[in-house]
Chains A and B, each alone.
Chain A
Amino acid sequence: MSRPRVVILGAGVAGHTSAAFLRKWLGDEAEVTVISPRPDYNWIPSNIWVGVGLLQPDQVMFPLQPIYQRKGITFHQAKATVLHPEGLDEDRQPFVEAESTLETSPGLLLRVPYDYLINATGPKLSFEATPGLGPRGHSLSVCTAPHAQEASRALDEAVARMKKGDRQRFLVGTGHGTCTCQGAAFEYLVNLEFELRARGVREKADITYLTNEFELGDFGMGGIHIRRGGYVTPSNIFTESLLAERGLRWVTQAHVKGLEPGCASLEFLNGEDGEERFDLAMLLPPFKGVGLKALDRQGADITERLFAPSGFMRVDADYQAKPFEAWLASDWPRTYQSPAFPNIFAAGIAFAPPHPISRPRQSPRGTAITPAPPRTGMPSAMIGRAVARSIYSMIWGAKEPTTTASMAEMGAACVASAGNNPFRGTAASITVFPIVPDFERYPEFGRDLNHTFGEIGLAGHWIKILLHHLFIYKAKMRPFWSFIPE
């Protein structure tokens, strides 16, 4: 009997973690294959520092092929396009169709058979959702290392103009009403301010934070509460304080309708229109699924059976539409197994969340202005590992997934940089438990206040540096890598 074949689509945090653990646990008992359109691994949390010119892209990226070769993982540099979970009439072996992205054979069609499939494709950066948004339009991004490098160059040019005496307007935040990753925008904002101070031009800069959050500190998680100074204080108080202290202006409840050179047109939650003018804008795009299709064995389109309209994969979540007040922690998936095909899983950003975490809101014109739920590095890695463990167990005979990793049952530790300097830098160290609030277990605040904590200081910056090196070491699968927690 041939070895079971596990195919992983995507080599980001979730996909790479799955591949690494499957190889470690399965040894030579299974064939592990990764299909990713890009040749490199990118430690995305450190892109912020590339975006302000403090790191180079090669310090946050490394080539995957040598590592996979060393570990016996097959790697195809290709973009998965179509799933055939039933195989074909003449051959029932499930397979994935992918188009090569190698320069030597662009577009070459690959057919990769699988027994188990992990969809860890991450998001499509949907810049097209807002006219004029993105590096091909009129704003910058730090979502990829090359984008961040472009942002760094634009910052250098802005600083040069400021040194000549010009004032510059910076606009940082979210480029659409349904964006997620406010934490990344926030990190870029405060790092930008720190860097402008370090370069001696802060007084020439007007910096605005533009966000789709209802109030500061929501971060797509409905905000958090922290015990401090005898009070349980919401995160908007801390976030507002951080911005006010640094002389940063903020605009909340905003959807970006479109960008033209130097101007963002806005729609607010109250239905009013507005605009923000800028010389440099770093605005994050909304995310959607990468657009995988699925066909049955006769070639009929079954994409809707596997994927939500957003393009993210349906898993074992409760997708029944219900009002905010009826949302439950148990709506969130635990095993990430596809209900349509038990040998398919989705990990990281690729799974469809049952609903947002923040309360959904829309303008009188019906425009949704609500953060989408974040899925940061730690939960993505934990989901990737849990899915890998379930597949390992199923290969050895388990009938069902054996390992769970619900975002409503796990916490997250997050370090948000607020300035990069070994003695003057700071970062906000935050722990949250659970990520998705559970108002049945924790009726008042939805989270365990003994495990939900936040503090800003130099120690956080040291931890951020430590995590940068630890996680790149782990991703390179160096000796004892698996002892480093997700």
Chain B
Amino acid sequence: MTAVYTPFDQGRRAQGSFATKPTDFTKSLRTNVPWQILRFVVINLKMIRVIWKSHH
């Protein structure tokens, strides 16, 4: 079933004003090498788990 759209605001001024934004600390962690080495391991394990679950 299709839904017909209701009006919305495409205005640029409103855009992004209420978007969640990362703090400086969060941004710094994204490229912090020791932290990212740890995340590399964690993310790989999470991905392997999903791949494993998909294959079985």
A residues contacting B by CB (< 8 A) are: 237-238, 240-241, 243-245, 249-253, 268-271, 274, 323-325, 359-364, 368-369, 378, 382, 409-413, 423-424, 426, 429, 431-433, 451, 453, 455-460, 462-463, 485-486
B30 touches A361 (CB 8 A): no
In the assembled complex, how far is the CB of residue B17 from the closest CB belonging to chain A, in whole angstroms? 8
A270→B6 CA distance, assembly (Å): 6
- Secondary structure call for the A interface: mixed
Q: Of all chain B residues, which has the CB nearest A451?
A: B50
B36 touches A245 (CB 8 A): no
B43 touches A460 (CB 8 A): yes
A43→B32 CA distance, assembly (Å): 30
Interface residues of B in 1-56 (CB under 8 A from A): 1-8, 10, 12, 15-16, 19-22, 29-33, 36-37, 39-40, 43-44, 46-47, 49-51, 53-55
Q: Of all chain B residues, which has the CB nearest A448?
A: B53
Which of A409, A429, A458 is close to B31, meaning CB atoms less than 8 Å apart?
Answer: A458
Q: Of all chain B residues, which has the CB nearest A241?
A: B20
A residues near B15, Cβ cutoff 8 Å: 244, 249-250
Q: Of all chain A residues, which has the CB nearest B38?
A: A459
In the assembled complex, how far is the CB of residue B38 from the closest CB belonging to chain A, in whole angstroms? 8
Q: Contacts A412-B50, A433-B50 given: A268-B4 contact, CB under 8 Å?
A: no
Q: Contacts A459-B40, A463-B40 given: A237-B20 contact, CB under 8 Å?
A: yes
A residues near B2, Cβ cutoff 8 Å: 360-362, 368
Q: Contacts A237-B20, A250-B15 given: A413-B51 contact, CB under 8 Å?
A: yes
B16 touches A240 (CB 8 A): yes
A7→B5 CA distance, assembly (Å): 46
B39 touches A457 (CB 8 A): yes
Closest A-B pairs by Cβ, 4 of them: A269-B5, A244-B19, A323-B1, A244-B16
In the assembled complex, how far is the CB of residue A145 from the closest CB belonging to chain B, in whole angstroms? 26
Question: Can you offer 26 A-B residue contacts whose CB atoms are under 8 A?
Answer: A238-B20, A241-B20, A245-B21, A249-B12, A253-B8, A268-B10, A270-B5, A324-B1, A360-B1, A361-B5, A362-B4, A363-B4, A382-B55, A411-B53, A412-B50, A412-B54, A413-B51, A429-B43, A431-B46, A455-B43, A458-B30, A459-B39, A459-B43, A462-B36, A462-B40, A463-B43
A477→B3 CA distance, assembly (Å): 47
A293→B32 CA distance, assembly (Å): 55
A392→B24 CA distance, assembly (Å): 55
A459 touches B8 (CB 8 A): no
In the assembled complex, how far is the CB of residue A477 from the closest CB belonging to chain B, in whole angstroms? 20
Q: Of all chain A residues, which has the CB nearest B17?
A: A244
Q: Of all chain B residues, which has the CB nearest A216?
A: B19
A240→B14 CA distance, assembly (Å): 13
A364 touches B4 (CB 8 A): yes
In the assembled complex, how far is the CB of residue B39 from the closest CB belonging to chain A, in whole angstroms? 4
B20 touches A458 (CB 8 A): no
Most buried by B among A245, A433, A458: A458
Most buried by A among B31, B43, B49, B54: B54
A61→B9 CA distance, assembly (Å): 43
B46 touches A241 (CB 8 A): no
A458 touches B19 (CB 8 A): no
In the assembled complex, how far is the CB of residue A271 from the closest CB belonging to chain B, in whole angstroms? 8
Question: Besides the contacts A244-B19, A463-B40, A463-B43, what 6 more A-B pairs have beta carbons closer than 8 Å?
Answer: A244-B20, A270-B6, A270-B7, A412-B50, A429-B47, A455-B43
A423 touches B31 (CB 8 A): yes
In the assembled complex, how far is the CB of residue B23 from the closest CB belonging to chain A, in whole angstroms? 11
A residues near B3, Cβ cutoff 8 Å: 359-361
A457 touches B30 (CB 8 A): yes
B21 touches A244 (CB 8 A): yes
A363→B37 CA distance, assembly (Å): 47
B residues near A423, Cβ cutoff 8 Å: 31, 33
B20 touches A240 (CB 8 A): yes
A324→B20 CA distance, assembly (Å): 30
Q: Of all chain A residues, which has the CB nearest B51?
A: A485
A360→B43 CA distance, assembly (Å): 33
B residues near A368, Cβ cutoff 8 Å: 2
